[in-house]
Amino acid sequence: MLTNAIAKAQEILPDREILISTLSTGPVAFADGMNYIDRERIMKCCRQDGLILKPSKPLTMIDLLINDWANY
């Protein structure tokens, strides 16, 4: 049985999550219940036939950002 907190959990920025999943060439999946699927939002990451869109190179962090983190 789901706890009340889990049952009410919501992604704060779902469009950002879809964008990052798609551009990073990582797994793209939805976890909404069957009656809660937002087809319009899901289809932003794929073609009409369902093929997931992927960039030619995955999204990665830039070296400058990684170097900045190394100083902490």
CA triple 61-31-22, angle to 5 deg: 30
pLDDT for 49 equals 93
Q: Exposed, middle or buried: residue 18 (CB in 10 Å: 0-12, 13-18, 19+)?
A: buried
User: pLDDT (tens digit, 9 = 90+) per residue, 34-59?
Assistant: 777 888 888 888 899 988 888 888 88
**Average predicted confidence (pLDDT) for the chain:** 78
Structural domain that includes position 20? 4-70
* Strand extents, DSSP E, 1-72: none
pLDDT for 2 equals 55
Task: Count structural domains, the chain.
Answer: 1
